[in-house]
Every structure is written in C-alpha cells, then in structure tokens.
Structure 1
Amino acid sequence: MNPSDHDFDAEHDFDEGEEDDNSVEARVWQLLQLINPGDEELALQQFADYRDAVGHQDEEAVDPVEIVSRVIDWRSGFVVDGQDTRALVQAIDELASRWNLSIDWDGDPDDDDFHADVDAASLFATAYDRLNEHGYTLWARETDDDSYAGWITLSRDNEPLRELATVLGINMRLGSEVT
C-alpha cells in the first residue's frame, strides 16, 4: 500500500481530545513519533504496518516491541548481530543520514583493521557522542540474544522516551551506557 493512499485519519481510532489514551496502540504511536523525528509520514506508514501486523492476532499474544522492531527495521531502528561491527556502523550511519548527519568514527570503518580494534560498546559510545553534538540521542534496546538494537531520537525527547519505554516494557539505555 502506498502511504499516500492510506487514509490514516479515517482509520485512526483516537479522538482529538483523547490525549490520555493508555492503550498499547496509542503508546506504540507515540513511540513511532519519537523515533521518527520530523518524519510523520514514515511514522504513519510504520503505524499502519504495525496495525496490519497485530490486526489478526490475539491481543494477549501480541509483543508490541517485537512487531515495532520489524516494522521499523533499517528505516528508524536496527537489530544487528552483536559481533558484526560492520553492520552496526552501517545501521547507525543509515539512520543518521535521515538528518544529513555523518558519524566521525575515529577511523575508517571500511578498513578491516578498524573493526579488529573496536567493539559494539565503543561504536555505540562514539556514535552517541557525535549525534549528541547535533541534538540527537542514540538509544540501545535490550534484546533476548547477543544482538544489538537501537534507534535515534531528538535529545529533548529523552525523558518522554524513557517514560514510554518503561510503560511498554522496553529496557533501554543511552548509547553511551552500552557495555
């Protein structure tokens, strides 16, 4: 479905005055807005994808974090193997490019020696620092395996993201705190 053909307003169940909607769906919408700063069209597309994914599932069986992870992958977030520093650099570079930002990795990420000397934690810390200089925050999301996952928000939205993550049961930490 073309996002421009999607009549979100007609299908959107939230009333204008329903700002206190505590449904999981409302919280997922808030999360998508936070991880897509300045790109409401992409957030709307991802929300439609989320709704399609959960539409035929038992509400109790839905894992909103897992579904969000699928609908945002490599557009607004990432999940990469914990040992694949190349994929981590590519994913963060891809996300940062949405705002015409380029990460100075303190070395050449195209060089094999660069990857021999770094780990995911140091890459997260470097990217966190570089993005923070421009008003963005790199977040790491806890996963059930040895992969790394994350997304980027505006730094001014750090506290709302923390609160929302807590309510949704997402264990998050700043990119500078990855170990």
Structure 2
Amino acid sequence: MRCGGGSAPEMRDDDDFEDDHDFDEDDSVEAKVWQLLLLINPGDEETALQQFGEYREAFAEDGDAEPVALIARVIDWRSGFMVAEDDLRSLVQALDELAARWNLSIDWGGDPDDDDYFDDADAGSLLGIAYDRLAESGYTLWTWETDDDSYAGWITLTRDSEPMRELAAALHINLRPGSDFG
C-alpha cells in the first residue's frame, strides 16, 4: 500500500490486512510506518490513524530522527512501551496496560504489587513471562534495541509476526521477540 501526498493511506479492514501483508521495498518510510502502526494496533484503526498523524507532526519537527525514535514517541504507553532499565515496576505496569487493550491479563507468577516480587526479578525474566502469557492468547510481545539502557517494545497478533519482522527490517529496527531478550 502506498502513502501518497499529505493524506493517510487508505484504511483496510482486518481481513484484507490479514491476507495481504505485502509491502514494496520502494514504499516510502511513511507508508511502512503506517503499516507498522496498523500491526501494533490490531483492530484499532482509529488509534493507528491518530498515531500516524502524530508521527507526521514529529517527523516535521525532527526529520533527522530514526523512524523508531519517532514511533516510540507517539505510541508510548498506548501501543508500546519504553521504560528505564532499572524500572521493573513500570515495565510490568506498561505491559499490563497494553495487554488490557484486548481484555487480557498477564499472570506474573506472583504479585507485582508486593515489594518482594521484584527482589529476584530482572527485565529478561519479566519479558519472558509476558511473552509466554500473551502467546497463549495469540499475541506476540516484541522488543527492540534502544540507544540507551531502556527497554522498549510493542505487541502484535501472532499471525502478523512475519510482516512485523519484514517491516522492522525495512525500517532498520533491531526487533526480536520478547522471549529472546537477554
């Protein structure tokens, strides 16, 4: 799908998108970002469109930034997360909030509200737990490499894993499943 001029790409329904994930390597970065936003907002084109508009504004302000940095800015705590390395509570809260978008609850194998829960936890183990629990419901937790010591990622439908990998590669995002964090 191509993104032309100043308007948003044509909206597609979920069935069309499920069956046709192809994108052309010659598509603009903007068109690839649009497709990525559709993947991380499954069934919520309104949010994807809002974030796409915010992406365009962010790009107009800082066109030299990497696409993933602008994407992270417009999706944070709504369709994705970026938390400081030592803030495990925020990581759990962000993942819980994202999962709640689809009426899912992550069983953390303990009570994250208990101060002792985080004594033996690390980001890798928490991401692994979230990945496993979300996979049971047909979702995939993704993380990407940041320029600092933060943890960042988003969630897609598992059926969209291959198009997500392809788009991430095309946008130069070092993306991996949450289970591969380490």
TM-score, with structure 1 as normaliser? 0.88
Summarize the alignment of residues 109-128 of structure 1 with structure 2, pairs less than 5 Å apart: 109-128=112-131
How far has the Cα of 1:164 moved from its partner?
0.5
* Alpha-carbon distance change, 40 to 123 in structure 1, aligned in 2, over 3 angstroms: same
Contact 2:83 2:150 in 1 (8 A): yes
How far has the Cα of 1:145 moved from its partner?
1.2
CA offset digits 1:123-163 (Å, max 9, x no partner): 00000000000000000111111110010000000010001
Summarize the alignment of residues 50-129 of structure 1 with structure 2, pairs less than 5 Å apart: 50-58=55-63, 61-129=64-132
RMSD: 1.9
Q: Which amino acid aligns with 1:129?
A: D
Q: Which amino acid aligns with 1:139?
A: W
How far has the Cα of 1:108 moved from its partner?
0.3
Q: 1:30 aligns with which of 32, 35, 53?
A: 35
* Alpha-carbon distance change, 112 to 34 in structure 1, aligned in 2, over 3 angstroms: same
Q: Which amino acid aligns with 1:117?
A: D
* 2:15 counterpart of 1:12: no
CA offset digits 1:68-97 (Å, max 9, x no partner): 100000000010011111000000001000
How far has the Cα of 1:63 moved from its partner?
1.8
Contact 2:127 2:179 in 1 (8 A): yes
TM-score, with structure 2 as normaliser? 0.86
How far has the Cα of 1:31 moved from its partner?
0.6
Q: 2:176 aligns with which of 167, 173, 177?
A: 173
How far has the Cα of 1:56 moved from its partner?
4.6
**Counterpart secondary structure, 2:107:** coil
Q: Which amino acid aligns with 1:79?
A: M
- The answer for the alignment partner of 2:18 in structure 1 is none
In the alignment, the residues of structure 1 paired with residue 90 and residue 8 of structure 2 have an alpha-carbon distance, to the nearest angstrom, of: 38
User: How many residues were matched structurally?
Assistant: 167
- The answer for the alignment partner of 2:47 in structure 1 is 42
Q: Which amino acid aligns with 1:113?
A: D
Q: 1:140 aligns with which of 143, 146, 150?
A: 143
In the alignment, the residues of structure 2 paired with residue 141 and residue 98 of structure 1 have an alpha-carbon distance, to the nearest angstrom, of: 21
- The answer for the alignment partner of 1:4 in structure 2 is none
Q: List alignment gaps of at least 5 residues for structure 1.
A: 1-8
In the alignment, the residues of structure 1 paired with residue 9 and residue 42 of structure 2 have an alpha-carbon distance, to the nearest angstrom, of: 21
Percentage of identical aligned residues = 64
How far has the Cα of 1:62 moved from its partner?
3.5
Q: Which amino acid aligns with 2:7?
A: H
In the alignment, the residues of structure 1 paired with residue 87 and residue 173 of structure 2 have an alpha-carbon distance, to the nearest angstrom, of: 23
